[in-house]
Chains A and B, each alone.
Chain A
Amino acid sequence: MISVQDITKQFGPLKVLHGLSFDIARGEVLGLLGPNGAGKTTMIRILAGFFPPTEGRVTIDDVDFAKEPKKLKKRIGYMPERVSLYSDLKVEEFLHFVSEIKQIPRKMRKEEIQEKIERCGLETVRGRLIGHLSKGYRQRVGLAQALIGDPDILILDEPTSGLDPKQIIDIRELIRELGRERTLILSTHILPEASHLCERVLILNQGRIIAKGDPQDLEKKLRNQQEIVVRVGLRSVVDEDEEVRRLEEVLQSIPGVESLVKTTERDSTVTFLLYTVLHDDLRSEISRQIVGAGFPLLEISTKRLSLEDIFLKIVVSEKKGTESFV
């Protein structure tokens, strides 16, 4: 349904996303998981139509986002991370404003707003100024505005961040319910939250997808993975691309290497991050293969720590995640 093809996003000299591609099926609940600064919010914002990607394209049912943004935005409900709402409007006024913008026919507006108010549990605060609401209620208003117009795609950026544990449980319950009827994309840095809510997750780190799949499997796999950094010299300056491709082939063919990411390429050297099974040390095999293919191996090291870093940052344990909010 949604197809993301080779998305790159660059802010000035800073490259935030490096060629991401993935598809999302109709009705799927997809989680984007990663530490802070991994590029989740940037990816989410591109999907929500906040800004276009620098390169690559997003299509929804084969309609290109860049060509018909207005048409596609009508199908999307979006809740930003920092749920920022007009604090000087009342809840009902705000929802009315949103329903006008989303072009809900005049006759149906009242009914639409009523339904969303009930759905998100806002009856008691409907006449209050948004600025006077608690964070939990504001999150609910954020959800309600996303739901106006019944979009078939719902995008939530860190929907539980900054809430207390009771509010987290309530919002998650609401999200699970919403995910039953529509395509839902949510970003989070809490691993158990992703396994709890999502059918499939993509793990992002430094603007790249480093793993994807069923959240329970991934969780197991991540716990047993290590990262190996390999720096290789290139032989000629003329056809470096070809050499990099050849190197990638060689590295990928090594049994035990689960995925690899090219990080930097400069001064005729190229650095790869290899994700491998934790228990076998593949370093000797990797060096043998690289040298065997005729490339000078400049550096090889395991970086189990950095993957643990990712764990820590994604917050593997729920307890830790909620503690930090108290």
Chain B
Amino acid sequence: MSGIWPIFKKDFVSLFRSWTGVFATSAFLLIAGIFFTFFLLAYSQLSMEAARQAYEGIQGLNLTRFVMGAFILNLGVLFLFIAPLLSMRCITEEKKTGTLELLYTYPLSDLEIVLGKYLSLLAQLALLFLPTLTYLGVLRVLGIKVDLGVVGAGVIGFFLLGATFLALGMFYSSLTENQIASAGLSFLTLMGLWILEWVAGFLPRPWSRWLNLASPFFNFRDFPLGVIDLSSLTYFLCAIALFFFLTLRAVETRNWRG
């Protein structure tokens, strides 16, 4: 398993020498900043109104859920657009340039190659997301108390959602030599999964339930509210394992396809 580390490092460095990596990170952080500002302003407006009118609903207005919860929930949707940009190079680029041929002849197992690459994607996810936690500091400066447990659950949920998107993206990147195709396929699939939840709203009971269960966004929804549901946790872990396994199989097809 010692081959994971060099692959991990090399992929991580490469991403930040490509325009996609830099673009994806900047775009994500910029839009995240806009979201945060927006939710914070909305919250202050609402709480001011509530104070003026002695509005009863203020009891239920929880800052952590209103600001951080909505913030993390929306980051999940934002990441739908960013994930394909991060994962599209993963295996595609190495297939196209032929460097994968070298990797296969080094003393590495397929598992080490795929695991190294996947872990590097996860590290990119962390690098993308962690700076947004400085907003907790902003809230603190403003003198607002935050329930860290709830935020923690949201962070876990976001990572699981992101890791699922990236595993799916990595799988598509192992199928083609064309980055645009790889990004396009994962984007379309993720969009489809997003729409699942809407479609579920129009359908009668048993169907809507099944569709919701299959939707990553439905499964993500409770995390930012501070609820870690075992079935949602299982959903994400299974999805990650599935796409990881499919990627491994796709990499093995060289044995009979050449």
Contacts and interface: CB of A to CB of B under 8 A. Distances in A.
Interface residues of B, number: 27
B107 A82 contact: no
A11 B256 contact: yes
A118 B193 CA distance: 54
Interface stretch (A44-52, A212-220, A311-319): A44-52
B256 A103 contact: no
B258 A51 contact: yes
Given A11-B257, A50-B254, A98 B106 contact: yes
- Chain A interface extent, by class: 20 to 34
A73 interface: yes
A70 B257 CA distance: 22
Contacts of B3: 101
Interface stretch (B5-13, B180-188, B207-215): B5-13
A19 to B, nearest CB: 18
Contacts of A145: 102
Interface stretch (B32-40, B59-67, B93-101, B143-151): B93-101
A103 B107 contact: yes
B23 to A, nearest CB: 15
Given A52-B255, A97-B10, A88 B17 contact: yes
Interface string A22-62: 00000000000000000000100100111110100000000
A246 interface: no
A100 B105 CA distance: 14
Contacts of B98: 80, 82, 84
Nearest to A72: B107
Interface in B166-199: none
Nearest to A14: B258
Given A84-B99, A85-B99, A89-B14, A76 B108 contact: no
B53 interface: no
Contact of A80 (B17, B102, B107, B108): B102
B32 to A, nearest CB: 27
B10 A86 contact: yes
A88 B256 contact: no
A45 B107 CA distance: 14
A88 B258 contact: no
Contacts of A42: 258
B258 A78 contact: no
Contact of B5 (A78, A100, A102): A100
Contacts of A268: none
Interface of B: 2-3, 5-7, 9-10, 13-14, 17-18, 97-99, 101-102, 104-109, 254-258
Given A11-B258, A54-B256, A70-B108, 5 more contacts: A51-B255, A84-B97, A88-B17, A89-B10, A98-B106
5 A-B pairs closest in CB distance: A84-B98, A100-B6, A73-B107, A11-B258, A48-B105
